[in-house]
Amino acid sequence: MKYICIFLIIGTIVLSCSPEYKFNKDRAAFDASKVTISFTSIADMNDSYFDIKENNYFEFYRQLFDSVKNTRYPGRYTRKGDTLYLKFYNNKGKRLLGSKAVIHEGKKEIVFFK
């Protein structure tokens, strides 16, 4: 019985610290926010998209063969001028793109920095 209680406590801690749990708290506001700017990178098999949404949300995702999203990394940002400071819910998004992005609105281009 003692081991079952310890296992349940550890399981609860792990689940409450997971990125998906953190995102679920903001999911309603995230889903209600409209996309204001969208950037696309087209590749042979996997297209990448970066959407900037209202209320300081963003989403980076990939689609395989123009089908459903196969990877998704939502987050929040703060903007200072043309620079976005990104905070991903899942740290894998930060490892892929970095924590800062600069928008060149005239060229409709975004550059990411680690």
At 96, give phi and psi (nearest 5°): -75, -45
User: What is the pLDDT, as a whole number, of residue 16?
Assistant: 46
- Let me know: does 84 contact 75? Beta carbons within 8 Å: no
Distance CA 24, CA 78 (A): 20
> What rounded mean pLDDT belongs to the chain?
82
Tokens of 57: 């949300």
Give the global pTM: 0.75
- Per residue in 7-19, pLDDT (tens digit) is 555 555 544 445 5
Supply the range of the domain harboring residue 103.
Answer: 2-113
Number of domains in the chain: 1
